[in-house]
């Protein structure tokens, strides 16, 4: 389960992309849902731009009350943030709540390190991507990958991204709406709609990316 790890991007466009999530240990299951629900309630207070759980669904498909009600002992709960301030304040409140469950952050490693240090958190374990290997010549363009890899389970396809980009280009849809449509496919709620909207706008403006021609 490395669903939040391999997000393609550069320092600039990853600087507003942070995920905070909690995963119950398989040895800790009985009664964990109570603390996962507290965790989710804390996240909601800090302006997440998306949230959800793999087995329940995300902000763009399920009401938050329903997500809260359905959180089980083995649910993994996620939220995406588009700025450091909200991410850090959510993490601080999670730490203070002392829920005893594993909490993981995804984002720029040096920024996550510093933001955690500032609120007295010493990280325990780190995980780094070493890239994509094999038949990389068959991969989509890097700009498209920056969007599709925001769903770690591969639910957002290259073709649907290109189709929506062309709809934005021809004014059938806004970039915001396109990002939200894409987000619906990502059950966990880790798709960063704000970052996706910006990336779509950049691609639309770049004549290099004309997908209908």
Partner 1 sequence: MKINEKCIGCGSCEPYCPMNAIRKTSNEKKYFIDLDECVECGICKEFSNCPKDAIENTDLDHTRSIRKEFSDPKAPHVSSTGTYGRGTAEMKTNEVTGLIRKGYTALSLEIGRPGMGAKFSDIEKITKKLAKKKVTFAPESPLTYLIQNQDTGEIKKDYLNEKVLSAIVEFVIKTDRLAEILKAIKEVSSEIDTVFSLCIAEKEQGNTDFPILKIAEKQGFKVSINGKTNMGLGRPLYKEEQ
Residues 105-144 that bind partner 1 (CB under 8 A): 105-110, 112-113, 116, 121-136, 138-140
Structure tokens that stand for 92 in this block: 């601080």
For the bound state, the minimum distance from the C-beta of residue 78 to partner 1, rounded and expressed in Å, comes to 12
Q: How far is the CB of 109 from partner 1 (least distance, A)?
A: 5
Backbone angles phi, psi at 111, to 5 degrees: -70, -45
Give the binding range for partner 1 (CB under 8 A) out of 18-26, 41-49, 79-87, 202-210.
18-26
Residue linked to tokens 């997000």: 7
C-alpha 6/C-alpha 127 separation (Å) is 10
Task: Tell me the C-alpha distance between 161 and 79, whole Å.
Answer: 22
Written as one string, the DSSP assignment of 67-80 is HHHH--TT--EEEE
Angle between helices 193-205 and 158-169 (to 10 degrees): 60
Q: How far is the CB of 68 from partner 1 (least distance, A)?
A: 18
Considering only residues 153 to 182 of the shown chain, the ones binding partner 1 according to CB under 8 A are 153-155, 157-160, 162-163
Rounded Cα gap, residues 158 and 70, in angstroms: 31
Which range of residues in 96-104, 167-175, 190-198, 200-208 is near partner 1 by CB under 8 A?
96-104
The residue from 64, 95, 176, 198 that contacts partner 1 (CB under 8 A) is 95
Should residue 9 be labelled a site residue for partner 1 when binding is judged by CB under 8 A? yes
Interface with partner 1: number of residues (CB under 8 A): 77
């Amino acid at each position: 389960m490395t669903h939040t790890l391999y997000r393609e991007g550069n320092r600039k466009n990853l600087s507003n992309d942070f995920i905070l999530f909690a995963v119950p240990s398989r040895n800790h299951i009985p009664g964990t849902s109570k603390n996962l629900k507290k965790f989710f309630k804390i996240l909601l207070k800090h302006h997440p731009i998306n949230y959800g759980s793999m087995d329940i669904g995300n902000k763009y498909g399920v009401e938050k009350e329903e997500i809260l009600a359905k959180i089980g002992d083995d649910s993994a709960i996620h939220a995406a943030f588009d700025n450091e301030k909200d991410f850090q304040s959510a993490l601080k409140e999670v730490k203070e709540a002392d829920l005893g469950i594993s909490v993981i952050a995804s984002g720029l490693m040096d920024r996550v390190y510093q933001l955690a240090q500032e609120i007295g958190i010493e990280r325990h374990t780190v995980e780094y991507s070493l890239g994509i290997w094999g038949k990389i010549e068959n991969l989509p363009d890097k700009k498209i990958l920056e969007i599709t890899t925001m769903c770690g389970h591969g639910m957002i396809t290259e073709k649907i991204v290109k189709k929506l980009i062309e709809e934005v280009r021809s004014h059938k849809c806004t970039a915001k709406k396109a990002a939200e449509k894409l987000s619906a496919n990502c059950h966990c709620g880790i798709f960063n709609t704000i970052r996706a909207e910006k990336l779509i706008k950049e691609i639309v403006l770049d004549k290099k990316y004309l997908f209908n021609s």
